[in-house]
């Protein structure tokens, strides 16, 4: 579930990142209603999603899906003698931790887009 949520957030951030590149080829024109929907509905949802994912990944051992949780589970498996399972959990934790810069970049791009294209007085 977390993998799909991260992927959806990154795809959305990627679309935002592609907007400047696409505008260099041909400008995309939004109606005022479409612009309002994007700024009022989509951007806050995507921003909240990246924030929630970052909090989950950085959460403590009690937070399911966090790096600390995966490392604690790996240690528990290692103590039981299940080294293969422990190694898999450790690799998942390392991979999840490596996603944090991507989430940070996505959040920065969403914020930059909101600041550049959405009215401040929502």
- 122: pLDDT confidence band, cut at 50, 70 and 90? very low
Q: Can you tell me the mean pLDDT for 31-43?
A: 86
- pLDDT at 50 > cutoff 90: yes
Percentages helix, strand, coil for the chain (3-state, rounded to 5) are: 80, 0, 20
Q: What is the mean pLDDT of the chain?
A: 84
Q: Can you tell me the mean pLDDT for 97-122?
A: 86
Residue 72 confidence (pLDDT)? 96
Residue 111 confidence (pLDDT)? 92
Distance CA 27, CA 30 (A): 10
The residue among 34 and 72 whose pLDDT is bigger is 72
User: In this structure, are residues 51 and 59 in contact, taking their beta carbons and an 8 Å threshold?
Assistant: no
Q: How would you classify residue 63: left for phi > 0, otherwise alpha for psi between -120 and 50, otherwise beta? A: beta
Distance CA 114, CA 42 (A): 10
Instruction: Give the Å distances, CA to CA, from 12 to 7, 18, 46, 71, 93.
Output: 9, 10, 7, 29, 24
- pLDDT at 108 > cutoff 70: yes
Q: Can you tell me the mean pLDDT for 36-46?
A: 90
Minimal CA–CA distance to 45: which of 1, 5, 102? 5
Q: Can you tell me the mean pLDDT for 97-104?
A: 95
Minimal CA–CA distance to 1: which of 48, 58, 52, 38? 52
- pLDDT at 12 > cutoff 80: no
């Amino acid at each position: 579930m977390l993998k799909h949520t991260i992927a959806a957030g990154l795809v959305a951030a990627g679309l935002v990142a592609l907007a400047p590149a696409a505008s260099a080829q041909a400008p995309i024109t939004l109606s005022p209603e479409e612009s309002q929907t994007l700024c009022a509905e989509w951007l806050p949802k995507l921003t909240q999603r990246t924030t929630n994912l970052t909090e989950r990944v950085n959460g403590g051992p009690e937070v399911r899906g966090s790096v600390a949780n995966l490392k604690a589970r790996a240690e528990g498996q290692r103590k039981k003698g299940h080294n293969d399972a422990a190694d898999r959990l450790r690799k998942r934790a390392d991979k999840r931790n490596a996603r944090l810069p991507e989430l940070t970049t996505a959040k920065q791009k969403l914020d930059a887009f909101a600041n550049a294209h959405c009215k401040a007085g929502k």
